[in-house]
Every structure is written in structure tokens, then in C-alpha cells.
Chains A and B, each alone.
Chain A
Amino acid sequence: MKAFTALTAAELRLLSRDPASLFFMVAFPLMLLVLKRGDGGAVPGYLAMIAAIGGMGALPGLLASYRERKVLKRLATTPISPILLLGAQLVSQVAAGLAGSALLVVVTVAVFGARAPGDVLMLTAAFLLCSVMACALGFVIAAVVRNTRGASLIGMLVMFPMIFLSGAAVPRKALPGSLRQIGDFLPLTPAVEALGGAWSGTAVPFPLLILAGIIVAATATGAALFRWE
């Protein structure tokens, strides 16, 4: 436990020193909110976006660089299990996303006077599932693509279309029919639905179940394909 805490604390500190992560997980969603004149209806999508940026935009490149620069190998010579490092990465990405999300929600309600989320507990649970799912997908990318630049690039290529087609960045209603159909098959779509339901206070168990299923499938795939060096 002491080792895990130390690892997670170090990872969080590193994340807080990364200007790109800070910008995309904290400042960027706030900017979008301002552009939307504080429209609370857009916020659940932005929460999904924060999770996607951390898990798919940042995590694959980070894991691949740890492998390429033999950070993983060095840690593998210590008593910690390498799994612990992946766990610390997950916890720190989720925690950072949660902090960015909490800030966004508070600003939406306190500054722009939007209606408070209908079910805060459910919203938190939906965000946690969404964030863990994004990290699990990022883990699969890092398992399939071996070098750092490739993993970062593929992460971005997967993330950007997904946040536009899943309803995270723009409402799906605004998309042409064929693009909306693609969105039906993207893992971030149920995430946006779950967050949207919790925001308005209606129970949406089905999207949450889908998220849980994706987490299990992606983690198993990642674990089977991931190479430590």
C-alpha cells in the first residue's frame, strides 16, 4: 500500500507538471463552456471529453514512453509489481479528470447559474466508469502500438473523431444521419448518455452496464497484448 501511494502521488505530481494535460483537462473544457455561454446541457458531453482526453489522448503516449525509455524495466527490478504502476497511472488519470470535472460543474452552476446536476452521486459514478473505460481503451492502444510517437498519434486519431461523433463535443442531433449511425457504435456514446442522464436526474442503467462491459473487454485485451519492453 505504501508503494502504491508513493507511485500514485508521484504520477499525480508529474501529471500536474504537464502543461498539455492541465490545459486539456482543466482550461479547455472551461473555454468551451464560456463559448457556450454557460449552457448546462453541454456539460455532460464535456465531462466525457475530459475523460477521453486523459485516457485516450494522454495515457497511450505516456505508457509507451515509459516502456521505450525503460522506465518500466527499471521499476520491474524493484519489489513492486509492474501491475501496480498501471494501477497508479489509472488512479492518477481518473483523479485528475475528476478534479477537472468538479471544477467545470462548480463553475457551470456557481458562475453561470445553470441548474445543479440532478443526481450528483450518479454523475460521479458515471464519470468514474467513463474515465476508467477511456483509460482501458488507452491501455489497449499502448499494447498494440509499440513506440511513443505512434501510440500518441493513434490515441489522438481514436479520440478526436470519437468526441465529435459520440455527442461529447457537439450534440448528436446536429450530426448528419450517417455520422450519427457511426456514433451508435462508439464506446464514448453510452458514456455521454450515462452522464447526460445523471445530469438531468433520470436513471440510465443500460449505458452504465455497457461501459462496465467495455472496461472488462478492453482490460482483458490490453492485458493479453501488452508487452513490458
Chain B
Amino acid sequence: MEAIEVTDLRKSYGDTRAVDGVTFTVRAGETFGIIGHNGAGKTTTVECLIGLRRADAGTVRVLGEDPARRRRALAHRLGVQLQDSSLPERIKVAEALRMFGAFYRDASDWRRVMERWGLRPLARKAFGDLSGGQRQRLMLALALVGNPEMVVLDELTTGLDPIARRETWRLIGDLKAAGTTVVLVSHYFDEIEALCDRVAVLARGRVAATGTTGELVARTGTASLEEAYLALEGADR
């Protein structure tokens, strides 16, 4: 079964075509990377996937649902980590996890999620007092507290130190092993290479290529995902 099917997705803001005919599919249980520079259409694509935006044209199916019409039903099965979103300054870590847990029909025990993500020592700390890395870790834990079938992570490890980054990779590995579908939006090539089964390269609102890292490297005759990306990005210009 396909977890995500996007066909010819288009979205403009005024005269700017943010997404201009994007098509890709993600299989259930797959870890799928979306890579591209700023303004390539990554965030708009993600926002259409999770039902925050309605596409101008094209079809989007996520876990068999149309996110624009069935956002709330889908939200029970979806975990989301948004780029630079935040929480009220004075809310404490444990309170945030407990509150988010109460939003979902089939939530995990929030205490266990707190434990698993190493947030226990921070339980009584206010969001406003957390470091960038700690915030990121909390936002990830909040994406998972609803026990989702699929997670969409935008800029997964931005702001994390190298150790926290590796730790996050390990936890994403656990999710994969548990069969959760993961969509990872990133501009870190090492992260995509380490975690993703397949990648879509976005450039100027279109998909320049889709495939495994190996396929993209072979197709472009380059030596790494980064070089393959630059070749695809340039070829599309």
C-alpha cells in the first residue's frame, strides 16, 4: 500500500509558484527524504500533506485520505514536527507532553515518551528555558506522543549538536524498525543518506529526480548524494 500519493500538486502564493507540478509516492513503512534548497517548495509540499494548506491543483492522498478535506481524522494517525514552531514560553515539558497526549485517540503513555526521548530530567523545565537542542527534542517527542502511523519531520536536526543528532538518528531508526512511515525534509545530505530509503530532489517547485541515493548517484555519474543533488539542481536550471 502507498502511504502517500501526490500527483501533479500545484500551489501558488500570488504570482509565485511555490509548487509547480510535484508528483511522488511513498510506500508504507518507508523512510522518504525530501531534499532541496530554500524556496524549492519543500515546506509548501509538506503543508499540503498534513492538511494545513489546500492545493490549487493536483491530488494528494495520505494514508488513503485527502488531507485538505479530512485533516482532523488524518491528524490522529499523523505525527508532525514543523520548522520553527513553538509552544507557550511558560509551559513545562511534562505538561506539554501530557496535553498533546490528550489530543489523540490512540496516544502512547506520555511518561514513556518523555523517558524514551531523554526528557525526564527536563520534565519541570519551562519551554522558554530550554536550549535549542532540547526544544527540538521536545517537539520531536510531541510528534510521536500520538502513536502515529506516519511522521512528517521538517528540518529534523537543525539546531542539534552532533551527539544529539546521532541520538535522534538512532531514534528515527527505531521508528523505522517499528514500521512507521517517515517523511524527512532536510538539507543535510548525510542525514538523508543515513536514514532514507528513497529521496525526492525538489528544485524550483518540481521534482528533479526520485530514487535511492545509489540510483541518484549512478544516474548523475557522481560520487555522493551531495554531488548528485548539485548536478540535478543545476541540470534543472
Whether B100 sits at the interface, judged by CB under 8 Å, is yes
- Distance between B22 CB and nearest chain A CB, rounded to angstroms: 20
Within 8 A of B (CB), among A48-67: 66
CA separation between A7 and B102, bound complex, in Å? 9
Report if A74-B103 is in contact (Cβ < 8 Å); known contacts: A6-B98, A81-B72.
no
Whether A14 sits at the interface, judged by CB under 8 Å, is yes
B104 to chain A: closest residue by CB: A79
CA separation between A6 and B102, bound complex, in Å? 6
- A-B pairs under 8 A by CB, number: 65
Interface 1/0 per residue, A1-29 and B, CB below 8 Å: 01101110110011001100000000000
Interface 1/0 per residue, B78-91 and A, CB below 8 Å: 10101011111011
CA separation between A3 and B99, bound complex, in Å? 7
- Distance between A88 CB and nearest chain B CB, rounded to angstroms: 10
- Distance between A4 CB and nearest chain B CB, rounded to angstroms: 9
Would A71 and B87 count as touching, CB distance under 8 A? Answer: yes
Q: Among B82, B87, B103, point to the contact of A79 (Cβ < 8 A).
A: B103
CA separation between A6 and B98, bound complex, in Å? 8
B77 to chain A: closest residue by CB: A79
Whether A70 sits at the interface, judged by CB under 8 Å, is yes
Report if A71-B102 is in contact (Cβ < 8 Å); known contacts: A77-B75, A77-B80, A79-B76.
no
Contacts of A69 in B (CB 8 A): 85-86
- Distance between B84 CB and nearest chain A CB, rounded to angstroms: 6
Whether B146 sits at the interface, judged by CB under 8 Å, is yes
Would B103 and A70 count as touching, CB distance under 8 A? Answer: no
CA separation between A73 and B50, bound complex, in Å? 11
Whether A78 sits at the interface, judged by CB under 8 Å, is yes
Report if A70-B82 is in contact (Cβ < 8 Å); known contacts: A76-B52, A78-B103.
yes
Contacts of A18 in B (CB 8 A): 90
Report if A78-B100 is in contact (Cβ < 8 Å); known contacts: A10-B95, A70-B84.
yes
Whether B105 sits at the interface, judged by CB under 8 Å, is yes
Contacts of B50 in A (CB 8 A): 77
- Distance between B203 CB and nearest chain A CB, rounded to angstroms: 26
Which residues in A have some Cβ–Cβ distance to B below 8 Å? 2-3, 5-7, 9-10, 13-14, 17-18, 66, 69-71, 73-74, 76-81
Which residues in B have some Cβ–Cβ distance to A below 8 Å? 50, 52, 72-73, 75-76, 78, 80, 82, 84-88, 90-91, 95, 98-100, 102-105, 139, 142, 146
List 5 interface pairs A-B (beta carbons < 8 Å), by A numbering.
A17-B90, A18-B90, A76-B52, A77-B50, A77-B78
Q: Nearest 4 CB-CB pairs, A to B? A: A6-B102, A74-B85, A70-B85, A77-B80
